Amino acid sequence: MSGDSTTCVTLTINGEERTLRVGRSTTLLDALREASYFSVKYGCGVGDCGVCTVLLDGQPVHSCQIRAADAAGREVTTVEGLEPVVKGVAGAADVAYLHPLQRAFVEVGAIQCGYCTPAQILVAKALLERNPDPTEREIREALSGVLCRCTGYVKIVQAVRLAAARMRGAEEPSFAPVEATLAPGQSPANVLGEFYRARPLDAPLPPLVISPPDLEAMHVVGQPDVKVDGVKLAVGRPVFTDDIKLEGMLYGALLTSPHAHARIRRIDPSRARALPGVRAVLTHHDVPRIKYASGGQSYPQPPPFDQVGLDDKVRHVGDRVAVVAADTPELARRALRLIDVEYEVLPHVLDAEEALSPGAPVIHDEVDTEGIYDAQRTIVHRIGADAGVSAAAWARVDHVFEGEYRTAQQQHANIEPHVCITTWDEDGRLVVRTSTQVPFHIRRMLSPLIGLPVKRIRVVKPRIGGGFGNKQELILEDLCAHLTIATGRPVQMIYTRHQEFTSSRSRHPPVMRFKIGVTDEQEVVATELELIGDTGAYGTHGLTVQMVAGQKALTLYNAPYSKFACDVVYTNKPTPGAFRGYGAMQCFFGLETLMAEIADRMGWDVVAFKRKNWIKLGEELLIAQALGEGREGFEQVIASSGLDQCVEVGLEAMRWYQKRGQRSSDPDGEAKGHIRHGIGMAVMLHGSGIAGLDMGSATIKMNDDGSFNLLVGATDIGTGSDTILAQIAGEVLGVPVDDFIVTSSDTDFTPFDKGAYASSTTYISGGAVRKAALDVAEQIKEHAASMLGLPGADGLHLRDRQVIASDGTSLTLAQVALSSLHQHDQHQIIASASHMSYTSPPPFAAQFVEVAVDIETGQFTVERVLMAVDAGRIINPITASGQVEGGLQQVLGFAHCEEMVYDQSGRLVNPRLGPYHIYKCNEMPELEVIFVQTDEPTGPFGAKSIAEISMDGIAPAIADAIHDATGVWLREVPFTPERVWRALQAL
Amino acid sequence: MNGYQSSLAGPAEAVRPWTVDADTSLQAVLDQPECHPLVCDSLTAVASWQIRVETPVRRALTSPRVAPRWVAALLALGASVTVSGGSGSREVELALLLESRAAGRVLALHIPPGGVGRRWGQACVARTPADEPIVLACAVVEMDGQTVQQARAALTGVWPQPVRLARAPSQLVGGGLDEASIQAVASALMQEVEPRDDYLGSAEYRRAMAGVLAWRALEQCLGGEGGGR
């Protein structure tokens, strides 16, 4: 509540008259959350993101832009007010009893992190009340004011269509994934005709899952189960970090640097401390100088440890200066303005290549940072690796091609900002409730910074409103903890949207120079990549992002000789970190664009050229062993690949050879006017966890009724990993997902897992779940055998919540559970298991795009995107396709418009979601997802990863398509209208 | 290209000015059946439903960064406003208000009626279809037979002000509307604009786009009675 004078406001909230005491400037958002309507979310505070939307007299408004006082006498609707069809216990838990919109959102899979879901549902409600039968365009237009970073909006739109149809009593074509199993010898491309013909012309295409003829059928794995957390997210329950209020909780706020590079000569917090209601003000004088690296990675973290909690030097605009805890957020912000700071402004450098030049400012001149390769030249790391014999390879080369490529610094734009609440528990242990992807890493990393042993820290991860790598980092937890230690009280800290841009993390913007040698026979025999990695002000993920970049880029075509040379440099920009795609997507832009250019210049068919060279089944990943990822690499061999089939399917679906090379003003016409159409493609691979490093664990415990607790350290950040892990366990134990109570993650109660990153959860954590389930299954069978008087468990199997003997006799799991717990050979059926892997099997994919380019303005539109993916066996086609669709929204922004831009002083000029611009619902192209299943022998039930690969090929596919349309090659991302226009002018 | 340029068909024109109270929300403006297609088009795609509900006409006019496309459409349509001043209320051209040559609290917005000879067009360039335009041109031409009676073009992104009327189209008045005259206007307009660099586009690019987009907006006016193609 505001600190200004208060007034009472009476308004109707969800049909109930309420009188709220509010400040004159209190927003409706703050008033509603203060009154425990937690479905209404903070996302930006300036009306850009729309997640604070409520209905005011039936119309959608940003509650952050409306003063609570102005809502007096009016009717406010939040998602809490949507009436379930059946109230009470059933309505609270069963999707079938929800409001039709909420039900459709859950069933279609429109919910990932769920942070924007209440707002989307409310807007849809308002729309359907105005227009019960909206067109897809009208739905998209209505929803365009609520940003989603997870879903690509595909299933949100379908959910609204489905709900609208149900509410009208009409039929709506199902959007459930379509399965197609190939006959022996049948090409996956042959199933497309029937698939496309089966859909009405105006209906969007659901995901298509193609299975090879010999893929073993499953019962739970592969099913389009709804997310286990779907209902609570759809009804807006208080499940996110910020949705609790602790007694006596204080509000923290962070003072950040206005300078790109400066030394703090003097800092005086006395005026701030004197402000009534301010409980603590901490500066670098108050916080111990403990060096750390903020990237949430396994022990020992990669160097350098170049950060401290609060420093006497600032290295980018937005860097930490001081922190305050006060009784209200407004007081905390007022206190920040009362901290006197005297800066000695230092020269700064924003460009990575300039940072390497002689005389560039030294950004880390402190003496206590170890592990910087050359601090005086701002080089954090120098990485070099090669595989094969250079001289022999280059001697075979007939043609050498080189290209320099650049990509921009992209912000994650996770809609839930970083938020953390710290408090002491009754045992004097610090409880950290935080929006993180890496709870176990946070606990370990936090310990030395705050002087508490690990055993006195508990990290709880609630539901997470999107992370994408940005929350694979220690961002607020140490500061929040310091404030709790200083005050003895619970403290909440939440970033503003501006701070998300300037003080969290972003995508590394590299400069890449590729050199590829080919023979006249179209063989790639040598590939070299020189990379300058810009890690901003701090090292954090600077080493590993660039190593992944080199490893993935040089593995795709797996040339007999590969070489990677990289300097990672400091600049005075906000620090990049982990971001979905993690270096690979940047380098695939350069690699795939150059490969397409080579084919064009040589007159080769680009698909045939790539197919001849991409890594094949049974081949060793040559550079992987030499390069590794932060540690030594391991020998790895491709054990499954559906890349050939992905490309085959994509070519057929896109009618590639009919469209390629037309440069037409319309898809079937000739060039005229100022619009040119083009089609492009790229292929890619990624990884499944970090080989030899990532480890996950799971515990499964059987309950009296035959249900199970599934306790995982794996961190569901909206991806649906809780659901797919339950499916993996369910497949083994013969029970549906409904029979699992999934808990993730709490460092006190769930076993260790490295967290949600590196595309590892399905493969690594899923492997642990499968092992634990197999152990539990054996225990169940042994106990059942004893109950049945059988000599052993051989011949027993689990299916449909029963243990079934070969003679058909059976016991229910509930019978087994009750017996084991209460009656006979009493023991808890429980198992824990861990899993790690020395291989990281790559998923493969092909991405195709169609674009329309305005050759007079340089603006282009992406009209259609198709991604054909081999992610091994698909555990859940709804959540898997959701991963692809959401990734495509992010990478379209990366390729098209998203770019953090700085002025000369180092200030970000577009630190708002509006000017920065992420794709909205009403500008998404048609998205199609096709899974080409394979059976990865090392994966759980044949699964590989799906989380990141969707990021990897859109940028080069668009570059290829723009070239197809216009003849220009673009080498810098994003492809803004002016960049395209300038390239066209230079033709 | 969806969202890039208007392709508007005009309905039968109203015979009286359409007057909108300044407290009316942009959404209520959009919901009015009298809402001119050019105005409707300018209120969708970029401005969200929420913004339209929250934003009254007064705020959108006095803070043209809120809805620049809409303001440009109004300028091109020759809109005026009633403002209150020390000596009562008076009606002034919207352009004068935006240029700070008229002051006062906005009470109402008036969009003049168009005859059967009114034609219009709009073209813009943006990073993506639903992004705020980098440059936008909006043109309205009032024809009497084959002769241009009035011609107005409003542009965004090419002056320090978010939205301004261009002078160049006035050279069409009294003459015919054809490709040559449109090209002349577009060329003159490129000289008239004073763009600045920003993160969305350089001054050079914006100047070039002013010509391209003004040409396109006016070229849509060739499409025939009642509106663009």
Per-residue three-class SS string for B20-79 = EECCCEHHHHHHCCCCCHHHHHHHCCCCCHHHHHHCEHHHHHHCCCCCHHHHHHHHHCCC
Residue of chain B whose Cα is closest to the Cα of A665: B1
Is residue B11 assigned to a domain? Answer: no
Same domain, yes or no: A475 and A536: no
Task: Tell me the CA distances in angstroms from A603 to A609, A660, A964, one per residue in order.
Answer: 10, 13, 13
How confident is the model at residue A4, as a pLDDT? 64
User: Which CATH number fits the domain that encloses residue A702?
Assistant: 3.30.365.10
pLDDT of B227 over the 60 cut: no
Same domain, yes or no: A633 and A541: yes
Instruction: Please state which of the ranges A22-31, A833-842, B14-23, B27-36 shows the lowest mean pLDDT.
Output: B14-23
Same domain, yes or no: A522 and A629: yes
pLDDT of B5 over the 50 cut: no
Find the CB nearest B202 among A62, A974, A978: A978
Find the CB nearest B127 among A59, A61, A896: A896
Element (H, E) at A447: helix A439-450
- The reply to whether residue A141 touches residue B44, judged by beta carbons under 8 angstroms, is yes
Partners of A458 in beta bridges: A431
Task: Tell me the CA distances in angstroms from A757 to A303, A696, A906, B75, one per residue in order.
Answer: 19, 12, 30, 52
Is residue A781 assigned to a domain? Answer: yes
- The reply to whether residue A923 touches residue B202, judged by beta carbons under 8 angstroms, is no
Same domain, yes or no: B216 and B157: yes
Residues of B with CB below 8 A from A140's CB? none
Mean of per-residue pLDDT scores for chain A:
96
The DSSP code sequence of A897-965 is T----B-TTS-BS--SHHHH----GGGPPEEEEEEE----TTSGGGB---TTGGGSSHHHHHHHHHHHH
Is residue B5 assigned to a domain? Answer: no
pLDDT of A490 over the 70 cut: yes
How confident is the model over A538-559, as a mean pLDDT?
97
A504 Cα to chain B: minimum distance (Å): 22
Instruction: Give the per-residue SS3 of A185-245.
Output: CCCHHHHHHHHHHCCCCCCCCCCEEEECCCCCCCCCCCCCCCCCCHHHHHCCCCCEHHHCC
Closest CA to A130 of B149, B182, B67, B30: B30
Instruction: Please state which of the ranges A4-8, A907-911, B200-204 shows the lowest mean pLDDT.
Output: A4-8
**pLDDT 10s digits, A280-316:** 999 999 999 999 999 999 999 999 999 999 999 999 9
Residues of A with CB below 8 A from B45's CB? 141, 144, 922
Same domain, yes or no: B125 and B171: yes
Interface check A917 vs B, CB under 8 A: yes
Final residue belonging to a domain, choices B80, B111, B142:
B111
Is residue A583 assigned to a domain? Answer: yes
Q: Measured between alpha carbons, how far is A789 from A946 in angstroms, rounded to an integer?
A: 45
Q: How many residues does chain A have?
A: 987
Residue of chain B whose Cα is closest to the Cα of A976: B127
Question: Residue B1 — pLDDT band, cuts 50, 70, 90?
Answer: very low
Final residue belonging to a domain, choices B111, B132, B167:
B111
- The reply to whether residue A917 touches residue B128, judged by beta carbons under 8 angstroms, is yes
pLDDT of A2 over the 50 cut: no
Q: What are phi and psi of A654, to 5 degrees?
A: -90, -5
Instruction: Please state which of the ranges A253-267, A548-562, B86-100 shows the lowest mean pLDDT.
Output: B86-100
Question: Residue A665 — pLDDT band, cuts 50, 70, 90?
Answer: low
A876, A207 contact by CB (below 8 A): no
- The reply to whether residue B131 touches residue A901, judged by beta carbons under 8 angstroms, is no
Question: Residue B11 — pLDDT band, cuts 50, 70, 90?
Answer: very low
Same domain, yes or no: A161 and A19: yes
A45 Cα to chain B: minimum distance (Å): 13
Same domain, yes or no: B107 and B153: no
A724, A730 contact by CB (below 8 A): no
How confident is the model at residue A197, as a pLDDT? 79
Is residue B229 assigned to a domain? Answer: no
Residue of chain B whose Cα is closest to the Cα of A921: B130
User: Which CATH number fits the domain that encloses residue A56?
Assistant: 1.10.150.120
How confident is the model at residue A96, as a pLDDT? 84
Is residue A941 assigned to a domain? Answer: no
**pLDDT 10s digits, A105-131:** 999 999 999 999 999 999 999 999 999
How confident is the model at residue A311, as a pLDDT? 98
Instruction: Output the CA angle B97-B98-B103, nearest 5 degrees.
Output: 30
A66 Cα to chain B: minimum distance (Å): 8
How confident is the model at residue B9, as a pLDDT? 34
pLDDT of A616 over the 90 cut: yes
Q: Measured between alpha carbons, how far is A166 from A170 in angstroms, rounded to an integer?
A: 6
User: Which CATH number fits the domain that encloses residue B44?
Assistant: 3.30.465.10
Buried b / exposed e over A817-849, threshold 16 CB at 10 Å, is bbbbeeeeeeeebbbbbbbbbebbbbbbbbbbb
Final residue belonging to a domain, choices A777, A806, A836:
A836
Same domain, yes or no: B193 and B160: yes
How confident is the model over A788-806, as a mean pLDDT?
97
- The reply to whether residue A981 touches residue B132, judged by beta carbons under 8 angstroms, is no
Question: Residue B100 — pLDDT band, cuts 50, 70, 90?
Answer: confident
**pLDDT 10s digits, A915-929:** 999 999 999 999 999
**pLDDT 10s digits, A196-239:** 877 776 777 899 999 999 999 999 999 999 999 999 999 999 99
A413, burial (CB in 10 Å: exposed 0-12, middle 13-18, buried 19+): buried
Is residue B6 assigned to a domain? Answer: no
- Count structural domains, chain B: 2
pLDDT of B143 over the 80 cut: yes
How confident is the model at residue A251, as a pLDDT? 98
Same domain, yes or no: A552 and A484: no
Same domain, yes or no: B129 and B215: yes
Is residue A215 assigned to a domain? Answer: no
pLDDT of A631 over the 80 cut: no
Is residue B28 assigned to a domain? Answer: yes
Final residue belonging to a domain, choices A156, A172, A188:
A172
Query: Which residue do the tokens 């992004």 mark?
Result: B131
**pLDDT 10s digits, A24-60:** 999 999 999 999 999 999 999 999 999 999 999 999 9
pLDDT of B228 over the 50 cut: no
User: Which CATH number fits the domain that encloses residue B191?
Assistant: 3.30.390.50
Same domain, yes or no: A24 and A58: yes
**pLDDT 10s digits, A360-386:** 999 999 999 999 999 999 999 999 999
Is residue A378 assigned to a domain? Answer: no
- Count structural domains, chain A: 4
Instruction: Please state which of the ranges A10-14, A659-663, B208-212 shows the lowest mean pLDDT.
Output: A659-663
Same domain, yes or no: A120 and A33: yes
pLDDT of B4 over the 70 cut: no
Question: Residue A671 — pLDDT band, cuts 50, 70, 90?
Answer: low
Same domain, yes or no: B103 and B123: no
Best to test chain A binding among B31, B49, B55 (most A CBs inside 10 Å)? B49
A18 Cα to chain B: minimum distance (Å): 22
Same domain, yes or no: B217 and B128: yes
| A339: Cβ contacts below 8 Å, ≥ 6 apart | A255, A267, A268, A269, A271, A272, A281, A283, A321, A322, A324
Instruction: Please state which of the ranges A663-667, A761-765, A970-974, B2-6 shows the lowest mean pLDDT.
Output: B2-6
- The reply to whether residue B27 touches residue A859, judged by beta carbons under 8 angstroms, is no
pLDDT of A669 over the 60 cut: no
Residues of B with CB under 8 A from a CB of A: 1-4, 27, 44-45, 48-51, 53-54, 125-132, 134, 198-202, 205, 208-209, 212-213
More confident residue, A91 or A845: A845
Same domain, yes or no: B71 and B166: no
Same domain, yes or no: A99 and A129: yes
**ipTM for the assembly:** 0.95
Q: Measured between alpha carbons, how far is A367 from A382 in angstroms, rounded to an integer?
A: 20
A901 Cα to chain B: minimum distance (Å): 7
Is residue A873 assigned to a domain? Answer: no
Same domain, yes or no: A482 and A566: no
Same domain, yes or no: A723 and A815: yes
- Touching B: A residues 842-901, CB under 8 Å: 852, 854, 856-859, 861, 896-897, 899, 901
B5 Cα to chain A: minimum distance (Å): 11
Residues of A with CB below 8 A from B213's CB? 857
Is residue A643 assigned to a domain? Answer: no
Q: Measured between alpha carbons, how far is B120 from B138 in angstroms, rounded to an integer?
A: 8
Final residue belonging to a domain, choices B65, B90, B111:
B111
More confident residue, A567 or B17: A567
- Touching B: A residues 958-977, CB under 8 Å: 974, 976-977
Residues of A with CB below 8 A from B134's CB? 977-978
Q: Which domain holds residue A813?
A: 695-836
Is residue B1 assigned to a domain? Answer: no
How confident is the model over B47-52, as a mean pLDDT?
96
- The reply to whether residue B127 touches residue A909, judged by beta carbons under 8 angstroms, is no
Is residue B212 assigned to a domain? Answer: yes
Is residue B10 assigned to a domain? Answer: no
Q: Residues B209, B211, B215, B218: is their CA dihedral positive or negative? A: positive
Same domain, yes or no: A786 and A803: yes
A621, A615 contact by CB (below 8 A): yes
How confident is the model over A402-428, as a mean pLDDT?
98
Cis status of the peptide bond prior to A300, with omega within 30 of 0: yes
Element (H, E) at B105: strand B105-111
pLDDT of A163 over the 60 cut: yes
Same domain, yes or no: A395 and A336: no
A976 Cα to chain B: minimum distance (Å): 6
- The reply to whether residue A47 touches residue B134, judged by beta carbons under 8 angstroms, is no
Interface check A32 vs B, CB under 8 A: no
- The reply to whether residue A47 touches residue B51, judged by beta carbons under 8 angstroms, is yes
Task: Pull the structure tokens for residue A396.
Answer: 């075979």
Same domain, yes or no: B37 and B80: yes
Q: Which domain holds residue B135?
A: 118-221
Final residue belonging to a domain, choices A597, A621, A638:
A638
How many other C-beta atoms are found inside a 10 Å radius of the C-beta of residue B150? Answer: 18
How confident is the model over A656-664, as a mean pLDDT?
89
- The reply to whether residue A47 touches residue B209, judged by beta carbons under 8 angstroms, is no
Is residue A434 assigned to a domain? Answer: yes
- The reply to whether residue A923 touches residue B128, judged by beta carbons under 8 angstroms, is yes
Best to test chain B binding among A70, A140, A859 (most B CBs inside 10 Å)? A859
Q: Residues A983, A987, B2, B5: is their CA dihedral positive or negative? A: positive
Same domain, yes or no: B88 and B135: no
Interface check A495 vs B, CB under 8 A: no
Interface check A919 vs B, CB under 8 A: yes
